[in-house]
Amino acid sequence: MYKRQGPGNCLLDEWVRKHTNNRFDDGGKAASVGKIDKTILNQAIENFDNIKIGDNLSFDIKDFDLSFVRGLSYENGLSTLTKFTSEIIYQSIANITKIYQNEKINILVCGGGRKNLTLIENIRKKLKTKNKSHNSFLKSLKIEIKFIKKRVAN
Residue 30 has a pLDDT of 96
Residue among 28, 7, 33 at smallest CA distance from 117: 28
Q: CATH assignment of 10-147, given 3.30.420.40, 3.40.50.300, 3.10.105.10, 3.10.20.740?
A: 3.30.420.40
Residue 69 above 90 pLDDT? yes
Under the banding of pLDDT at 50, 70 and 90, the label for residue 52 is: low
Higher local confidence (pLDDT), 128 or 74: 74
pTM of the model: 0.77
Residue 53 has a pLDDT of 56
Phi-psi region of 37 (alpha: psi -120 to 50; beta: other; left: phi over 0): beta
Residue 107 has a pLDDT of 73
Higher local confidence (pLDDT), 107 or 19: 19
Residue 14 above 90 pLDDT? yes
- The residue count of the chain comes to 154
Calculated CA dihedral for residues 123, 125, 129, 130, nearest 10 degrees:
-20
